[in-house]
Amino acid sequence: MEQLLLLIFLPLAGAIITAFAGKSAKIVSTVFSVVSLVLALVIACNFIPNASTQFEVNLPWIADLGINFHAGIDGISMLVVLLTNLLVPIIILSSYKHEYKNPAAFYALILFMQCGLLLVFTALDAFLFYIGWEAALIPIYFICAIWGGKDRIRINMKFFVYTIAGSLFMLMGIIYLYLQNPAHNFDIQAFYALNLDGAQQGWIFWAFFIAFAIKMPIFPFHTWQPDTYTAAPTQGTMLLSGIMLKMGIYGVIRWLLPIVPAGVHDWGQVAIVLSIIGIVYASVIAFTQKDAKRLVAYSSIAHVGLISAGIFAFNQQGMQGAMVQMLSHGINVVGLFFVLDIIFSRVKTNKIEELGGIAKVAPQLAITFLIIVLGTVALPGTNGFIGEFLLLMGVYNYGIWAAAIAGLTIIFGAVYMLRMYQNVMLGETNSLTITFTDIKGTEKLVLYSICALIIVLGVYPKPILHLTEASVQHLLEQVNQKLNTVN
């Protein structure tokens, strides 16, 4: 209990101290993020990989409304808790070469966002989940609005409107479930136990799905994403793509499937169709991109589309694949955006046609970038392979044509990612890239760490699969049992 409370609120304490740390904010935030990572690893080492909820906290909060501070960790949440605490120190270290205006506020907002994310990933009370959901949005809004690039206010307003609209749909669903609950509380198990008819489950499905689909994002709720990823400061883009979109995926697994299985049964096919359309659409658009950052943004939509399809295929392989791919995608996309940030800091452009020949003058960057690209395109032996293999197997078990179309993400992804790598890294140097310098210091530390994770998780994914297997199986059994009762 104490460990989980410390895990959730340590970043908040760090955010408050960092806000008053002045020029030392960068170091202070690094220390807090590393301590949080160590604590998460300690919890992971003490975690028993079965279907139970562990390190549970259940304290009265707003008793008159049946709201408790109820949080805990199972195999599903353990994975995203590890991802969050792993990526935050990497993201902070990746910013060391930048000098941000008002750094104390910048790094405090990152840690504040970490606290909100951990609330989302551990909450077992719907009201607490919603508080974490909104708490994670506030800091990223300010990070993008204050430190973003050109046209950031308009772009950020679109992002904010999308996410707030989705949140309101979810809030309506939560309030309705609360009113249907005889115990009049927001406890997740009470929501799981509700006997709702097909019509009720149908509209609650859409209330939750829209909120989660915007966060991921899934076609056609994705239009805020490419502009936001491009205009945000790189560390903001990393937070959005590496961790925040996992809130939507996690929400589907933890809240949508078990609460409204009949709604998923009735509307899940629509969700799969939208996910597959997103895969093809984003991949085709990625081919046409001249800016490398926008290309990676569209690539992310395609990969998340496959994860979503795997979840709604609703079988063990698809769900396990989604869990593994959440971790792999987070690591890989942060690596991609960091490499592009390094390139931009040297030559002030991410235009693919203006680059070339960087491998000749920066071989270490070229090698690490290649490893990250190969992980992204799911080369066997890298972290991206096992997740995408399981996802495609899960979608195949749902329907062969769905798998055939969804599998295009691997083919298309390999083409546009390797072509981008070729145009940026290979060939002859030009007037911009001739003076390019290789990575050093914290740049090496971050990229070497990411490459090590890509290789280790690719060669030996068993611990991750073992971590989530029992919880995923229990979830599927729980939902199938409820679905049979409804039918």
The pLDDT assigned to 147 comes to 85
The pLDDT assigned to 17 comes to 94
The pLDDT assigned to 200 comes to 87
Q: What Cα–Cα distance (Å) separates residue 414 from each residue in 320, 343, 375, 376, 438?
A: 23, 21, 10, 8, 25
Structure tokens at 52: 């139970």
Query: Within 13 A of 440's CA, how many CA atoms are on the CB side?
Result: 4
On the 0-12 / 13-18 / 19+ scale of CB atoms within 10 A, 397 is: middle
Structure tokens at 240: 């959005």
**452 contacts: CB under 8 Å, gap ≥ 6:** none
Structure tokens at 77: 């949440």
pTM across the whole model: 0.92
pLDDT digits (tens, 9 = 90+) for 372-418: 999 998 889 999 899 889 999 999 988 888 888 888 878 888 889 99
Q: How far apart are CA 256 and CA 264, in angstroms?
A: 8
Peptide bond between residue 380 and the one before it cis (omega within 30 degrees of 0): no
Q: How far apart are CA 275 and CA 310, in angstroms?
A: 9
Contact 414, 377 (CB under 8 A): yes
Residues of the chain predicted below pLDDT 50: none
Provide φ and ψ at 227, rounded to 5°. -65, -45
Residue type, 272: I
The pLDDT assigned to 401 comes to 85
User: What residue spans define the domains of the chain?
Assistant: 266-487
